[in-house]
């Protein structure tokens, strides 16, 4: 994409990802640092929210800007969650993997099962295939059930 002065580009293209990457190319290294929660500022998040609004106003798809903004908003919470799981001991990797598994199976999978059921109802009303969503919900809940079974067996 060439947005030099002689070419015509929309406003959202001129402030697009390529220009941001050119201006802040060295800033990508900051995400690898342990204190990345503090280096990603609110101005970066606000930039992508503004870019999404400009994309909508220009008749373009704002999905990439929305996903980038959501990703930047979730970095600090994810880092705090992972740091809370790190025991710092000899088995820190095992503790992290166990905590991650418990979080996914105990929190994410039941929510995904509920969303699959809602999607199945919507597809049923629209006369679209819905059975696969019910089976997906059953699979999601079976993982949660297996976790409860393993905890009961271990106790």
Q: What is the pLDDT of residues 81-112, one digit of tens each?
A: 888 888 888 888 888 998 998 889 888 999 99
Report the candidate in 130, 103, 126 with the shortest Cα–Cα distance to residue 116.
Answer: 130
* pLDDT, position 34: 47
Higher-pLDDT residue of 30, 154: 154
Q: What is the mean pLDDT of residues 130-152?
A: 90
* pLDDT, position 41: 60
């Amino acid at each position: 994409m060439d947005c030099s002065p002689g070419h015509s580009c929309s406003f959202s293209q001129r402030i697009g990802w390529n220009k941001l990457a050119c201006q802040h190319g060295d800033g990508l290294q900051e995400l690898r640092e342990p204190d990345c929660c503090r280096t990603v500022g609110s101005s970066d998040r606000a930039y992508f929210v503004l870019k999404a609004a400009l994309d909508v106003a220009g008749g373009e798809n704002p999905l990439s800007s929305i996903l980038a903004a959501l990703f930047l908003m979730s970095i600090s919470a994810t880092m705090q969650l992972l740091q809370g799981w790190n025991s710092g001991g000899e088995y820190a990797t095992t503790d992290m993997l166990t905590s991650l598994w418990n979080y996914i199976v105990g929190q994410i999978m039941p929510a995904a099962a509920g969303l699959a059921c809602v999607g199945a109802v919507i597809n049923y009303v629209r006369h679209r295939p819905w059975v696969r969503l019910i089976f997906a919900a059953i699979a999601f809940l079976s993982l949660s059930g297996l976790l409860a079974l393993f905890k009961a067996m271990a106790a």
